[in-house]
Amino acid sequence: MMQSDPAAILRAAVWMAGSIIAFSLMAVAGRAVSFELDTFEIMLYRSVVGVIIMLVAGSLTGTLYQVRPRRIGLHLIRNVCHFTGQNLWFLAITMIPLAQVFALEFTGPLWALLLASLILGERLTRMRALAAFAGFIGILIVTRPGAGALDIGVLAAAAAAVGFAFTAVFTRLLTRTETLTSILIYMTVLQTLFGLVCAGFDGDIALPSAASLPWLAVIGFCGLAAHLCLTKALSLAPAAVVLPIDFARLPLIAVVGLLFYAEPVDAYVLIGALIIFGANYANIYHETRARRAVAR
């Protein structure tokens, strides 16, 4: 039905537009507050905003009862991975062009292919292996390691993608028994604690200025909104339809970087990103066809 229903695909596109805008706004807001807050402090305040939003949303929808003290260990592992990846992402957006960060972020699904075979026991098919290899070629083009010493920002962005891949794999495990409300509330609460410990390790947690408060609210809201929009889009249309729309994040953020930060549009970043996108899309298209064949 999702394949043949134009109305559902149109609704999915609208939800994906929301996800793209939210991810882009979060990058801009992260840069805006990075001048007075470090990444741990940003994550602390982002998570506090997230807790407030989730408690209000859970109360209004009557889903707070779904949060139960089970699978704590898996929630903890998932959120350590996400907290690490998100901190590295916030670090990267302050050090390298936004388009380069987003291009490397798109390698996350490819890393997830490899991790799923190791953690979930999923079979690493020839197509999945080829997609991962093509994605690695795309990484080499984006980062160009032979062009000079690798920038810390590039390494942070690449490592963030790996952190997000671990997050995706452990999220898949959690969704077998846990609801979205449970996963998001555990995420915001645990990451508030992580942020408090890491930001306060040196005994000095910087308080945000009045100018930074709106940006922190944007980060907290958009961090949740982006994932909710993406999840909703995937519930309306196949991943093979949603993924190309999500890739629009790259040209959009490249324009933002050019207009607001005078970041040049690097042809190597765009070429590498296209290869990474092609690898992702080819794998999803192959998986979709394989599932249809089994269903028949």
Is the per-residue pLDDT at 67 higher than 60? yes
> Distance between CA atoms of 48 and 51, rounded to whole angstroms?
5
Q: Rounded CA gap, 296 and 275, in Å?
A: 32
**What is the model's pLDDT at position 80?**
97
- CB under 8 Å to 212, separation ≥6 — which residues? 32, 33, 36, 37
Average pLDDT over residues 77-95: 96
The H-assigned helical ranges of the chain are 6-33, 39-61, 72-93, 98-105, 108-119, 126-143, 152-174, 180-199, 213-236, 239-246, 249-261, 267-295
Task: State how far the Cα of 120 lies from the Cα of 114, in Å rounded to an integer.
Answer: 10
* pLDDT digits 0-9 by tens, 103-160: 999 888 888 888 888 888 878 888 888 988 998 899 889 887 655 556 899 999 999 9
Q: What is the torsional sign of CA 37, 43, 47, 53?
A: positive
Check residues 204 and 148 and name the one with the higher pLDDT: 204
Read off the pTM: 0.88
158 neighbors 143 (Cβ within 8 angstroms):
yes
pLDDT at 1: 41
Query: pLDDT per residue over 217-247, tens digit each?
Result: 999 999 889 888 888 887 787 766 777 788 8
pLDDT-wise least confident of 37-51, 89-103, 114-128: 114-128
Determine the residue type at 81.
C
**Burial class of residue 155 (count of CB atoms within 10 Å of its CB; 0-12, 13-18, 19+):** middle
Residue-level pLDDT at 18: 93
pLDDT over threshold 90, residue 28: yes
CA distance 205 to 140: 38
